[in-house]
Amino acid sequence: MGSSVKLRTGASIPAIGLGVFLAKSGKETYNAVLNSLKVGYRHIDTARMYGNETDVGKAIKASGLSRDQVFVTSKLYDVDWGYEAATSAINQSLNSLDTDYIDLMLMHHPGNRQGRKETWQALEAAHKKVLVSFLVACRNKQLRVHSTCCDHAGAGQPSVWVCRVSAKLLV
């Protein structure tokens, strides 16, 4: 599980991680994260919308690993778009995860243009306060990447573009 991908910023992101999208909050998420960390996973992918960030944070603390040994990804969904809503959602994620920073914060579904610029500006502000690491990104569930996602906001550009590829597409 030690392989990683080096980003253009010079930072590395673990190549394999545990996603807790379908994990139920409580013991299911806690045990999945804790056991994954015990066997060598170092990247946990969660989101406030999943309702299990608190369990992720507790498991990371219980693992005995220092925070800088675990790469944490979370997401802003379009319901949290706009400067104030995004800022609030980032702070809620930080509180739920019981951490000082999130390594990678994704803008989920950036194809929705309403509030995109303000959301990106909130991510930039969080980055400047080191609440979100220098790794900020946009995510698009389709195979095409929206190159206009953040080009009209501030100076910052995404460090990562994430496209989900479903096995169903390969059949």
Q: How far is CA 74 from the centre of its chain?
A: 3
**Selected catalytic residue, list 50, 77, 83, 101:** 50
Q: Count of residues for the chain?
A: 171
The amino acid present at 144, given as its one-letter code, is R
- In whole angstroms, what is the distance from residue 162 CA to residue 171 CA? 21
Single out the residue of 4, 25, 28, 31 nearest to residue 104, CA to CA.
Answer: 4
* Residue 101 is among the residues annotated as catalytic for this protein: no
Q: How many Cβ atoms from other residues are within 10 Å of residue 122's Cβ? A: 27
Phi-psi bin for 40: left (phi > 0), alpha (psi -120 to 50), beta?
A: left
Which are the catalytic amino acids? 50
